[in-house]
Chain A
């Protein structure tokens, strides 16, 4: 699964476009030195993005591997490095290495299946790489349902893209929800797990969940109630990482390393691990 040439030395890269998604989230388009993508990747994989002198961190690649022009990283401003990244302008240089981790099983398990995406807040970023991959290979997959929630409509990342593009895709339904009532909001109001229950999905689908840990936990419980097996549900975990290649020793959950054995896990696999994530 792991590319044996993966190392710790990054490629020089450059930001070619910045979208302000919300007040605290931006999507950066990144290319390598020769305007190309220096490494291949699959939906759900991550890359190490760094600002020399400031720091380096692992981010999910939010664009699809079918996009041959650039990578996209959707980054929320939360700490030192992400704050610094948010000050960057188009044409700013950065460095990049990857791709790391086990992707979502888009080319085997998901083929021909009806897909249910469940995301909260910035948790849509890793799932967007799968959603866009599915759109680019539309005839290989069944119906697509996307349940996406955030605190308020202003916190829904990719809202414009969702409304202009995703809802117009064939055999695709998008279900948006926000935590509290808002003037002018025509979508659902309420937490994601409650909304899933109301929508009452057929438990023959494959579900992919990402969001805050508590949202994942309750969404999974709701799916189980609805008749889903844990083997039908995938999620992606976030841990602190330094190397990305299973050596530096900090992203482990039990004997599994999120950087090589994950970040994508099937929910029954997580049951076998200690609860420390």
Chain B
């Protein structure tokens, strides 16, 4: 059954947020643009403890970190980031399920916010995402000076129940009240058709040169999900160790380094891995590319290298190959 659409005046939005905040922590707002960092850290923190090991009587006692399952709300998630969360779900909620991710994800309420304009370097429409129709437990938008609220899941309905006395029911929301998709001006992000020919394309020899392998794109990317695991001696007690998981980047040489060698020995192979994973491997494995067009990597790359350039150069290479 389709949930009813609710409205309130823009002046009362703060009241809505405060009401939710009485029940659980609320992060984000209905601000004018997407956040600088993506929301992935709420589900896959940049650093987290997995377990603790204590050496007692010459054997190890292992204590897993307790699951983080306290409910929380993310407000104002844009369509790109909502799509990214679905991509992360595909990786972490598929067998074998990641219990830490699952606990946080199940505890989260995602309230999305429709974009009526495209931000600088945004290109979600080039990857088939409608910025005016974000997914999420609740979708919110502003139209003609009114704030709109629509539950899109059971969780979203639970959140709505907290707010019933602050909202007005509007049925039905006519098309004139729905957010309007901004005009689409950018061409679609081309995805290579053939994995091996994209992998072996000569363009990688030059494309990687500008990259300084700083990893900024990886850490800002809402779908980059690779991690490292390491073990540290506890400073206050040498019999205790912490095992942590932290974000990692395939652009770093240590990522695949083994004692006997490295299957990706130079920056070229590591640079290629990042873009092949986004544009090709993820598509082969999960049926969708791993780029949601949020444009964070385009905004922040210190050498102006980005996935849009790489995708177009690869596509041109493919065209040339058939001429």
Binding site for B on A (CB under 8 A): 2-12, 14, 33, 50-56, 78-80, 82, 91-95, 238-240, 242-243, 245-250, 252-255, 272, 274, 276-277
Taking a contact as CB atoms under 8 Å apart, the answer to whether B264 and A78 are in contact is no
Cα separation A56 to B226 with both chains bound (whole Å): 17
Taking a contact as CB atoms under 8 Å apart, the answer to whether B59 and A6 are in contact is no
Is B213's CB within 8 Å of the partner chain A? no
Of B23-31, B90-98, B121-129, the one with at least 4 CB within 8 A of chain A:
B90-98
Over the window 51-82 of chain B, the binary record of Cβ atoms lying under 8 Å from chain A Cβ atoms (1 yes, 0 no) is 10101001111101000000000000000000
The B contact surface, by secondary structure, is mixed
Taking a contact as CB atoms under 8 Å apart, the answer to whether A238 and B64 are in contact is no
Taking a contact as CB atoms under 8 Å apart, the answer to whether A240 and B257 are in contact is yes
Within residues 206 to 262 of chain B, which ones have a CB less than 8 A from any CB in chain A?
A: 225-233, 241, 243, 245, 248, 250, 255-260
Known: A9-B50, A252-B281. Contact between A277 and B263, CB under 8 A?
A: yes
Taking a contact as CB atoms under 8 Å apart, the answer to whether B269 and A5 are in contact is no
Other than the known A93-B58, A250-B250, what 7 A-B pairs have Cβ atoms closer than 8 Å? A8-B229, A10-B51, A51-B231, A95-B53, A248-B227, A274-B199, A276-B269
Is B104's CB within 8 Å of the partner chain A? no
Which of B62, B199, B233, B260 is in CB contact (< 8 Å) with A95? B62
Cα separation A79 to B50 with both chains bound (whole Å): 24
Taking a contact as CB atoms under 8 Å apart, the answer to whether B229 and A242 are in contact is yes
Q: Which residue of B lies closest to A82 (CB)?
A: B259
The A contact surface, by secondary structure, is loop
Taking a contact as CB atoms under 8 Å apart, the answer to whether A93 and B55 are in contact is yes
Which of A2, A243, A253 is in CB contact (< 8 Å) with B229? A243
Taking a contact as CB atoms under 8 Å apart, the answer to whether B96 and A2 are in contact is yes
Within residues 175 to 201 of chain B, which ones have a CB less than 8 A from any CB in chain A?
A: 195-196, 199-200
Instruction: Provide a sorted-by-A list of 30 A–B residue pairs whose CB atoms are within 8 angstroms.
Output: A6-B96, A7-B96, A7-B99, A8-B51, A8-B229, A8-B245, A11-B62, A33-B59, A53-B53, A53-B232, A54-B231, A80-B259, A92-B58, A95-B60, A240-B255, A240-B257, A240-B258, A243-B227, A248-B229, A249-B226, A249-B250, A250-B226, A250-B248, A250-B250, A254-B284, A255-B280, A255-B282, A276-B263, A276-B264, A276-B269
A155 CB → nearest B CB, Å: 15
Which of A5, A11, A239, A274 is in CB contact (< 8 Å) with B256? A239
- Which residues from B are CB-within-8-Å of A94? 60
Taking a contact as CB atoms under 8 Å apart, the answer to whether A53 and B50 are in contact is no
Q: Which residue of A lies closest to B64 (CB)?
A: A9
